[in-house]
Chains A and B, each alone.
Chain A
Amino acid sequence: MLSEVFVTEMTAAPVMCMYCGTVTVMAEEHLYMFPLSPGAVLRCGTCEEALMVFVRHEGRLRVGLPGVRWLDVAAPSGAQP
């Protein structure tokens, strides 16, 4: 379900909750209100604080990260830090 609001590879991305420190892949967190609403909330599967907020409008997806300490994704090939 999460892959419909986010690019597929991202759903396997580990994410650290800013509130409780738990690290889980995004696909295992709790998603609320999708797809019934223009807004959706991804909550930490451990402490239920809001990790990410999504608002869809006119073909755009605004992604808020109110509870994310970090998100770990594959770097583009050849990219240097």
Chain B
Amino acid sequence: MAFVTRGFHGRQRDSAEAGRLPPGQYIVSGFPVLSAGPTPHTALSKWSFSIEGEIDTPKRWTWDEFQALPKENITKDIHCVTKWSKFDTMWEGVSLDTLLDGVDTAAEYVMAFSDGGYTTNIPLEDLRDGKAWVAYQYNGEPLEAEHGGPARLLVPHLYFWKSAKWVRGLRLMMDDEPGFWEMYGYHMYGDPWREQRYSGD
């Protein structure tokens, strides 16, 4: 039997914050940098974004083609598995709805892959319907390399390890497969509201 104890522990919070901070998280004003490896510096002339795997005709955009796609301004709260959350982060990027438009696939999962070899798995439906973007600006400036520039995945409703830095594409998969951290015990889905930090949570 599960007992709901949200809000029972922790310090008193501003009422505006209540209901906005997932369990076990605290608010930061800065933007901590956590990277599982050295920061890659891919020249924009060599950058591309691909959708491949379970798709008849793989899709690929160069940097210039990507910049020409319809862009959106996004303001979202983000939640890191290391327990910090940051409210109202402001991004600009391309919606995954735009990138997946017209993609006819039986796949139900994707593996996001990045420069430097990082990967993370996400259900395809979590990337549709205005829930995910490939972001290339933060606070009105080009996204800094240490924060994932030139472009990173932004899936703010999941823990931030799912928002792969330096993202270069998505591999469509029929079955769920573990990415870099998930392989060693991080949760396959990573919902901050259910504190899905580790497999078994």
Contacts and interface: CB of A to CB of B under 8 A. Distances in A.
Interface of A: 30, 32-33, 36-39, 41, 43, 48-50, 53-55, 57, 62, 64
Contacts of A62: 184-185
Please list the 9 inter-chain residue pairs (A to B) with the smallest Cβ-Cβ separation, ordered nearest first: A55-B184, A55-B185, A64-B184, A41-B36, A37-B82, A53-B184, A57-B198, A62-B185, A48-B38
Contacts of B27: none
Nearest to A60: B185
B173 interface: no
Contacts of B185: 55, 57, 62
B193 interface: no
Contacts of B38: 30, 43, 48
A1 to B, nearest CB: 16
18 contacts: A32-B35, A32-B36, A32-B37, A33-B34, A36-B32, A38-B82, A39-B184, A39-B186, A48-B38, A50-B37, A50-B117, A54-B184, A55-B181, A55-B186, A55-B198, A57-B197, A62-B184, A64-B184
Contacts of A54: 184
A66 B81 CA distance: 22
Interface in B140-191: 180-181, 183-186
Contacts of B186: 39, 55
Contact of A39 (B32, B36, B117): B36
